[in-house]
Structure 1
Amino acid sequence: MTTTGSSVISALGAGSGIDYAKLASDLAEASFAAQRDRATTRKTTLEAQISAAGQLRGAMSSIASALGDRVRNGDLAPRGELGNSAVAKVAVAPGQTPRGNFSLEVTQLAQGQTLLSRSLASPTATVGAGTLTLRFGTIDGASFTADAARTPVAITVTASDTLASLATKITQSSGGAVTAYVATGTGGAQLVMKGRDGAANGFVLEAASAAAAPSDVAGDLTYLGWTPASSGTLLRTAARDAAFRLDGVAMTSPTNRVSGLPAGFTFDLTATNSGAPTTLSFAGNASAITGVMNDLVAALNDIAGQIKELAAPVGGRLGSDPGARELKRDLAGLAGQVVMAGAAAGEPRTLGDLGLVLERDGTFKLDNARLTRALETSPDAVGAMFTTGASGVFAAFDRLSRDTSLASDPGSLGGSLKRFEAERSANEKKLAKIAEQQEALRERLTREFNASEKRVAASQSTLAFLRQQVDVWSAKDR
């Protein structure tokens, strides 16, 4: 039997030119091949396990996140219906479940002040140098009460400013509190200035002309000043609050978006109905809740399918992983888990009460008849299970997602991921060490082979000399 060692010795003894660098590299690589192959195989296994554990953890996180979005967006909240839908649009704040009937009478919509300047010849007409000051407050007839909490806006106007450039300065300097533009009509060009909704957003224009002898004429900044006592004809709409009655209680709002109502809903007021109150009623959003339960069952079945494949006892990447087994147990007990500990007797308290059913094969289905009964007999209790509070469906899945990702728990997928990543790091160091040892062996063998080559070369030189002498001796003997 010819071994690698005997082959090398034969080659050296033969003195035939050998590629010692390649020979050293091949021997070093062969010496560590078994260790390197084991470490490489382990690396592949660990990466597959990390991917599988991350996949399951991500799937659970996605369910909790999607469910949270549905709850926070108000998709599952009760729907408000108005007898006169032209009066307002109703929305329910996330986590709120208003019930019952209300009456709504809107007597006034909120609006902002609209002020027109006196006319100039054109948008490019100069307005005169000076300072234009915007003051904010409340206008009542011919009187103005300034809001001491709001700093006046002083606008520097140059001699080259036109009506058009002044409009831009007003909008920019006020930060949008007053928006201005130029409109050209039959009487010439005028500034149109519009404030924000609400009685407290009224405004006056104080004009301080830079002219030596200011006069109230076009081309002098004084011409554009305005107070409610000076010229009421330029005020087109006055700033005012919205006014309405909810169940007969008089209320106001600085905007037509009304929030902070006792039942947790909001209005967008769109029209008045003075003297003709309309009815607002709330009912559970049964169709949306049925839809989200169907989506939840589909998502759970997707995860169940992933667990069946990834955690299979034979061939599964997580077949013996405690984190995957724990998640499988958690899902198996999901239908019976109490998610509303404070539910009254007879009201739904588990996911099973909402129709979630675990099949024998580990998949889920929705018992629509049971869900429908719960929605019909306990609509308020079912609605309360779909909020962002400490109890409910979202809270249950959020806790499960967090527990699944908990790296400090060795029995969770988060703990498994932490362990796999630590093992991968150790394996990477092992591969690096093998590479260092292989390189050290290659360098040592190269030095030894080079020394051997020199000795063989010297021996061959001596042998050649001796042969030459023997040939000379032989020739003399003839």
Structure 2
Amino acid sequence: MASVISSMGLGSGIDINSLVTNLVNAEQAPVTQKLNKREAADQAKLTAFGTIKGALADFRSSLAGLSKLGNTNQRTATSSDTSSVTVTADSNADLGNYRLEVKQLAQGHAVASTPFATVNAPVGTGTLTIKLGTYQTEPSPTFVQNPDKGTLSLTIDSSNNTLSGIRDAINKADAGISAAIVYNGSGYQLVLNSEDGGVKNAMQITGIAGLQYTSGTVAGDTMTQTQAAKDAIVSINGLDVHSTSNTVSNALKGVTLNLLKAEAPNTQTLVNVDISQGSADSFTKPLQDFVKSYNDLYAAVKSVASYNAATKTAGPLLGDSVVQGAMAMVRSQLTQPVSGLTGSIRSLVDIGLRTQADGTLSLDTTKLKQAVSTDRDSVAAVFAVLGRPGNTGVQYTDATSATKTGSYAVNVTHAATQGFLTGNALAAPFPLVLTGAGNDNTFSISVDGVNSDPIALTPNTYANGDALATEIQARINGDSKLRTANVSVSVALDAGNHLVITSKSFGSSSNVSVTQANSALGLTVGSGSTAGSDIAGTIGGLEAEGKGQQLSAISGDASGLKLLIGDNTAGDKGAVSFSRGLTERLDKALGSILNTNGSVSARLNGLQKDLDRIQSDRDKLAERMSQLQRRLIKQFTAMDSLVGQLQSTGSYLAQQLSNLPNSNSSN
């Protein structure tokens, strides 16, 4: 096109190139200027909305700290010597100060075999049986099995009767016993360790002559003890407490003591442990972070949506309805009282948060501490979704978005029960002799719908019901299928010598039944089973749904409220006060602004679409100017050609006129 233009003007002498360029530029300039102005404004708004969106997201993140304030009974636990004892406390821990002395740490039992030449040396075959329990010396040396620990029985044959084969079989069973092979410099020894410590978890190992340990209670021991089973012993205010673990969680209500170091004998070094109500400081830091985050949001909005009188410039989002609407929604949530709360503490203002003259928030820590000391529960409820039972046997577990704030009476008409099996009377009185002949020691059961493998009791003479019940309970709970399914039982003998086997779960899925009978034990297939039952009752006066020990509201304002009834008794359980705090309410409001369908995203999408339209308008303008240029070139080319023709005709006429007779005299 340039070559065409540069060749023009020969006939007319006019600089058509410059003329066409100037005409096109004159047509294009105002439209381009308008598009540039639109684009700059959109880009500024796009950047500003990005800033606002980030500030809103940061403000929303600050709510995570407030949600933790819902623990109304928060406890602070401290230890004066964390190298000896560390301590944690649950919300139900009793308050108090305790003097502790760690006298002994718990340790597991360890035994070792005699040395073998290689790890593949044969050891022996048979049924390897490992029980956990206590060795007693009075009135005579004996072993008393721990009924809470299962019995491990492994078949050892030609496929696994080596040190390595037995080690792998024990470890694969995952029954609380670990096995390793140690080379002592001259031979290989199988070392067994009880994973749980305490004198109740010493090992008794029988069934393979080359691997027997009974602490001398049975002749023929071939393994030696390398580490004795010991309880942890900690003195609490002068009272000795024994524990099978160095983590002591049942000595003080709601308190877990982690014992790390035992003091040397006769040193009597005391550790002070203090369990106190969480102080107002646990509220102060999250609230200060919340205030800072809001003020950062306010500053971000002010920087892009206000008028600067000093510079006489307006922010790109001044007067923007989306920004104004978002901030109005946030401020509204901050000033509204929490529904469901009564009394003097119902809103942020009541605990020391207030809006200052410049629009920012401030926290009066003195007022906050006073509110916490006056009514800690209500302060926590200002922030969190909470159900506060009035009965210690009731525990709030959950609620849904459908649950409305209010106070709901709880009544249990039927407590949850456990499934159990009651057998027939034992075939013979005590002492009961089980020889193993005719499978008088074998049976199978189903617990909570899980079928066990055949269970074989140790052939033995059982002196009384306790000994028999302990053996049966340990064998059942040691079954690999039941253990994998995490189901277990307790076993007792009633006054009529009937075995009573009870599932440890509650509800309609709790059951125990016999799948392989044993007449010696009074166990018959298809009889004696009583299934457990689910809890039944009402919440807010309306029938609730029961599952196990959990009672759930399914209708009315309380719908979705879930409670765990732990005392397993029927009757009136008081009321549960349910409220929704600021955290959930504000999080939902911010979510509605920030989600993909929210106002901020909609505005960002709108601005991006406008930028896309501007680019499309630029492309259309460029095409229109190109067409204009071609049209002007065509017109000026025609003009130049015509001028050239006229000039040629004029020259011809002038020449002809100059040749006419008497032209000079006439002139």
- Give the TM-score of the pair, scaled to structure 1: 0.63
Are 2:611 and 1:418 aligned? Answer: no
Alignment correspondent of 1:428? 611
Task: Summarize the alignment of residues 105-184 of structure 1 with structure 2, pairs less than 5 Å apart.
Answer: 111-120=107-116, 125-128=118-121, 138=132, 183=182
In the alignment, the residues of structure 1 paired with residue 134 and residue 181 of structure 2 have an alpha-carbon distance, to the nearest angstrom, of 27
In the alignment, the residues of structure 2 paired with residue 382 and residue 313 of structure 1 have an alpha-carbon distance, to the nearest angstrom, of 38
Where structure 1 has 5 or more consecutive residues not aligned to the other structure, the ranges are 1-8, 209-215, 217-222
Q: CA deviation at 1:269?
A: 5.1
Counterpart of 1:444 in structure 2: which amino acid?
Q
Q: CA deviation at 1:36?
A: 1.8
Number of aligned residues: 438
Task: Summarize the alignment of residues 254-293 of structure 1 with structure 2, pairs less than 5 Å apart.
Answer: 256-257=246-247, 266-268=256-258, 281-293=275-287
Task: Single out whichever of 424-433 and 375-384 deviates more from structure 2.
Answer: 375-384
Are 2:303 and 1:309 aligned? Answer: yes
In the alignment, the residues of structure 2 paired with residue 232 and residue 194 of structure 1 have an alpha-carbon distance, to the nearest angstrom, of 16
**Cα–Cα, structure 1 residues 15 and 349, in superposed 2: closer, same or farther, change >3 Å?**
closer
User: Which digits, 9 at most, give the CA deviation of each residue in 1:263-310, with x for residues without a partner?
Assistant: 65544355899xx9x987432233333344444443343334334434
Are 2:582 and 1:396 aligned? Answer: yes
Q: CA deviation at 1:11?
A: 9.4
In the alignment, the residues of structure 2 paired with residue 305 and residue 268 of structure 1 have an alpha-carbon distance, to the nearest angstrom, of 47
Q: CA deviation at 1:334?
A: 7.0
Contact 1:153–1:173 (8 Å) recurs in 2: no
In the alignment, the residues of structure 1 paired with residue 197 and residue 59 of structure 2 have an alpha-carbon distance, to the nearest angstrom, of 47
In the alignment, the residues of structure 1 paired with residue 648 and residue 288 of structure 2 have an alpha-carbon distance, to the nearest angstrom, of 97
Greater RCO (Cα-Cα under 8 Å, separation 6 or more): 1
- Which of 354, 357, 372 is the equivalent residue of 2:354? 357
Secondary structure of the residue aligned to 2:88 is strand
Q: CA deviation at 1:384?
A: 6.4
Contact 1:24–1:445 (8 Å) recurs in 2: no
Contact 1:137–1:144 (8 Å) recurs in 2: yes
User: Which digits, 9 at most, give the CA deviation of each residue in 1:85-106, with x for residues without a partner?
Assistant: 898543245xx36453498999
**Cα–Cα, structure 1 residues 305 and 263, in superposed 2: closer, same or farther, change >3 Å?**
farther
In the alignment, the residues of structure 2 paired with residue 81 and residue 203 of structure 1 have an alpha-carbon distance, to the nearest angstrom, of 37
Counterpart of 1:371 in structure 2: which amino acid?
L
Contact 1:28–1:441 (8 Å) recurs in 2: no
Secondary structure of the residue aligned to 1:14 is coil
Counterpart of 2:283 in structure 1: which amino acid?
I
User: Which digits, 9 at most, give the CA deviation of each residue in 1:377-408, with x for residues without a partner?
Assistant: 44565566676637999941342133033149
Alignment correspondent of 1:65? 64
Q: How many percent of aligned residue pairs carry the same amino acid?
A: 17
Q: CA deviation at 1:320?
A: 1.9
Task: Summarize the alignment of residues 176-255 of structure 1 with structure 2, pairs less than 5 Å apart.
Answer: 183=182, 185=184, 190-197=189-196, 225=211, 231=221, 233-237=223-227
In the alignment, the residues of structure 1 paired with residue 195 and residue 580 of structure 2 have an alpha-carbon distance, to the nearest angstrom, of 39
User: Which digits, 9 at most, give the CA deviation of each residue in 1:145-181, with x for residues without a partner?
Assistant: 998899979999899x9x8x88996898678976665
Alignment correspondent of 2:39? 40
In the alignment, the residues of structure 1 paired with residue 593 and residue 330 of structure 2 have an alpha-carbon distance, to the nearest angstrom, of 19
Contact 1:28–1:438 (8 Å) recurs in 2: no
- Kindly indicate which of the two structures has a greater share of residues assigned to helix: 1
Counterpart of 1:389 in structure 2: which amino acid?
L
Contact 1:56–1:306 (8 Å) recurs in 2: yes
Where structure 2 has 5 or more consecutive residues not aligned to the other structure, the ranges are 1-7, 136-142, 264-269, 309-313, 388-404, 406-577, 662-667
In the alignment, the residues of structure 2 paired with residue 310 and residue 155 of structure 1 have an alpha-carbon distance, to the nearest angstrom, of 81
Contact 2:179–2:193 (8 Å) recurs in 1: yes
User: Which digits, 9 at most, give the CA deviation of each residue in 1:91-146, with x for residues without a partner?
Assistant: 245xx36453498999997654434343356xxx4433799999876456568899
Contact 1:339–1:351 (8 Å) recurs in 2: no
Contact 1:242–1:252 (8 Å) recurs in 2: yes
In the alignment, the residues of structure 2 paired with residue 440 and residue 207 of structure 1 have an alpha-carbon distance, to the nearest angstrom, of 96
Secondary structure of the residue aligned to 1:360 is coil
